[in-house]
Amino acid sequence: MRTNKLRVRRIAIFCTIFMGLGATVTLNAETELTAVNAEAFMNRAESRLAELSVKVNQASWVQSNFITEDTQALAAAANDEIAAVTTELVEESKKYDGVKMSPDLARKFMLLRLSLTAPAPKDAKLRREMTELGSWLEGEYGKGKYCRKGADGKELCQDITEIEQRMAESRDPAELLDLWKGWHGIAPHMRDKYTRFVGLSNQGARELGFKDVGALWRGGYDMTPEEFSAELDRLYDQVKPLYLALHTYVRTQLSKHYGPGVVPPTGPIPAHLLGNIWAQSWGNVYPLLNVPEENKSFDTSELLKAKKLDAKGMVKYGENFFKSMGFAPLPDTFWERSLFTKPRDRDVVCHASAWDLDNADDLRIKMCININEEDFVTIHHELGHNFYQRAYKHQPFLFQNGANDGFHEAIGDAIALAITPEYLHKVGLLEEAPKAGNDVPLLMKQALDRVAFLPFGLLIDQWRWKVFSGEIEPADYNKSWWELRKKYQGVAPPEARGEEFFDPAAKYHVAGNVPYTRYFLAHVLEFQFYRALCRESGYQGSLHRCTFFGSKEAGAKFNQMLEMGQSKPWPDALQALTGQRQMDAGALLEYFAPLKQWLDEQNKGQTQGW
């Protein structure tokens, strides 16, 4: 009975989406369309899109690694072509709306209509303008630098990698403010073109049958956009008490360090003082938080440097984790074609990313790797994308994706959670793992990255969805941005930021038009995945101490989910690994339970919230 109800529910969702996308075709005997016609159309569509996707991937790879006007033009042309073809295919697909077809085929039609994150207008001139704007915005971000005169009078220019590194280390509020303002200065000139990009993309979304681009993005989760928004609210309500406890403690300690005149003991935290240019993760301020450590502390960054690792050596550790679980090694071409270090002779987009250029085996990462703990974790995250991509390569083209986009981000993060002291000891980086006891320092370090990120992961698209819907108008872009950052994060700009600024575009995912809610979902799902893998490996004990490194049983269970790709609704994929059909923060709360208890004790007498 449960299976039948779920099956009917999925079909109802498909029908709801299909009815919202186009009128049902009235058929007569002469023009009757059948499931055979629909399948033939879909086979042609997938073949054409697979071919064009390789062309786009290659052009985009070159553009990201060699930022010039020419490579931007080539990438724009490739994106324009696939946007035009996809738009035509979506339009043609509407004539099959009334045809009875198998659930798998119906799912492909749905995914085809949801495949464009930046749907372009049908008009060729407008479509070309939009793709050129998209390439320009990403290129401007990649070329961004903060330039000023150094102490010697010569011009000093720093890119985002250098700025991030310095902000992680500096404890001088004046220097941190200067760097923060400098990086955010790359964005104001993007404002008008971003506004035009939004307008054109919205036009494309409406021509596909959606209210706006935000509604299209929210439609990709096997539920209606309204149901998905409610799901996000439910998940955030689960994690909000933990975030508030962390925020209160961090604010108190930063106020003690910098003084109440710099960090008020109540109210939001100044955005430039959290060790990260966007205040999205706070791990770099850990040394300022006065966390008592009973065991001898260790610094993973120093452990990596002591091994005299180069960038490729860092990546090898990530690959070896997957190999220990039974996954095949990465292909030789991965090592030949990936970008591991920032070239000295050209601008590149240093934002870490994973690539599957041929929908098969041409896997790569692009990353300007530093020898530190943050990049060690990021490498595991990016390789998670690559191993997921390879696992579902045998699926039809439209099923070659994560069960939902949060799954894709959560895969590597679940592996990264298993980078415990025990794991570092097993792989020879740590001579002896600290004994179990006071694990608050370990949990605090994890929380500063993962829990601190949660509201940031949510607010980026909250801002964009309101921009797409028109609720936030261009005249209020910056004002609304900081209102949302205060509402969700309890973070404030270090100075007044009027509409002469465009601070959202100082974040890559806004300039690059990359949906961001996936990262919020990933930070919930990774703990569900992690707990399931720990159980499959036979681990017993405190959840935060688990590593399933070397467990073939966990690897086999993991691969069972990965191979499904997007062929089934995400609850089916989630159930395959975890036994659950609902995204749930319960595993995250279990992981951090000892820290939450400790924070509540430390925060007695303090004002929570802002």
Residue spans per domain, the chain: 2-139, 145-185+210-290+373-610
pLDDT at 31 over 70: no
DSSP 8-state secondary structure symbol assigned to residue 234? H
**Of 509, 526, 536, 544, which is the active-site residue?**
509
Q: In this model, does residue 206 exceed pLDDT 50?
A: yes
38: nearest Cα among 108, 113, 116: 108
What percent of the chain shows pLDDT beyond 90?
78
Backbone angles phi, psi at 560, to 5 degrees: -60, -40
Count of CB atoms within 10 A of residue 454's CB?
A: 26
What angle separates helix 453-469 from helix 225-258, to the nearest 10 degrees?
A: 130
Confidence of residue 298 (pLDDT cuts 50, 70, 90): confident
CA-nearest of 370, 457, 452, 385 to 416 is 385
- Predicted confidence at residue 29, as pLDDT, reads 37
Assigned token pair, 381 = 């995250």
208 or 338, greater pLDDT: 338
Q: What single-letter amino acid sits at 361? A: D
CATH 1.10.1370 fits 145-185+210-290+373-610, yes or no: yes
- Give catalytic status of residue 88 as yes or no: no
Residue 169, pLDDT above cutoff 80: yes
Mean pLDDT (the chain) is 91
Q: How far is Cα 444 from Cα 439, in angstroms, rounded to an integer?
A: 8
Q: Is the model's pLDDT at 233 over the cut of 60?
A: yes
Residues 522/530, Cβ–Cβ less than 8 Å: no
Q: Cβ(548)–Cβ(554) under 8 Å?
A: yes
Residue 134 has pLDDT above 80, yes or no: yes
**Mean pLDDT within 329-338:** 97
Identify the active-site residue in 382, 409, 526, 536: 382
Going by pLDDT thresholds of 50, 70 and 90, the confidence category of residue 30 is very low
Residues in a beta bridge with 339? 366
- Phi, psi at residue 270, to the nearest 5°? -60, 130
Work out the burial of residue 346: count CB atoms within 10 Å of its CB; fewer than 13 is exposed, 13-18 middle, 19 or more buried: exposed
pLDDT tops 80 at residue 16: no
* DSSP calls for 90-157: HHHHGGGTT----HHHHHHHHHHHT--SSPPPSSHHHHHHHHHHHHHHHHHHHH--EEEE-TTSSEEE
pLDDT at 15 over 70: no
- 69 pLDDT higher than 60: yes
Instruction: Inform me whether the pLDDT recorded for 437 exceeds 80.
Output: no
In the chain, helix, strand, coil percent, each to 5?
Answer: 60, 5, 35
**Angle subtended at Cα 282 by Cα 279 and Cα 287, rounded to the nearest 5 degrees:** 135
Please give the single-letter amino acid code of residue 50.
Answer: A
For the CA atoms of 151, 153, 154, 159, the dihedral, rounded to the nearest 10 degrees, stands at 40
Strands 146-149 and 155-158: antiparallel
Q: Which range has the worst mean pLDDT, 145-154, 488-497, 512-521, 541-550?
A: 145-154
Whether 24 has a pLDDT exceeding 70, the answer reads no
Told to judge if 382 belongs to the known catalytic residues of this protein, a careful annotator would answer yes
Please give the structure tokens belonging to residue 280.
């999205």
- What band does 296 get if pLDDT is binned at 50, 70 and 90? low
State residue 348's pLDDT score: 85
Average pLDDT over residues 49-74: 92
112 within 8 A of 93, measured Cβ to Cβ: yes
Give the containing element (helix H, strand E) for 381.
helix 373-391
Q: What does the pLDDT read at residue 26?
A: 40
User: Does position 345 have pLDDT exceeding 90, yes or no?
Assistant: no
Q: What is the pLDDT of residue 538?
A: 96
Q: What is the Rg, in whole angstroms, of the alpha carbon atoms belonging to the chain?
A: 24
Supply 169's token pair.
Answer: 């280390």
- Report how far residue 203's alpha carbon sits from residue 223's, in angstroms, rounded to the nearest whole number: 23
- At residue 149 the predicted structure's pLDDT band, cuts being 50, 70 and 90, is confident
Q: Identify whether the C-beta of residue 403 lies closer than 8 Å to the C-beta of residue 573.
A: yes
The contacts of residue 70 (CB under 8 Å, 6+ apart) are: none
Count of alpha carbons within 13 Å of 437, Cβ hemisphere only? Answer: 9
What's the rounded mean pLDDT across residues 477-504?
97
Comparing 254-268, 292-306, 349-363, the range with the smallest average pLDDT is 292-306
Residue 410 has pLDDT above 90, yes or no: yes
pLDDT for residue 311: 93
Q: Where are the alpha helices (DSSP H) in 221-372?
A: 225-258, 300-306, 311-324, 332-337
Between 374 and 173, the higher pLDDT residue: 173
CA 296, CA 438: separation in Å to the nearest integer? 11
Q: Is 291 helix (H, G, I), strand (E, B) or coil?
A: coil
End-to-end CA distance of the chain, in Å? 48
Confidence of residue 295 (pLDDT cuts 50, 70, 90): low
**Over 90: is that where the pLDDT of 297 sits?**
no
Task: Return the pLDDT at 14.
Answer: 32
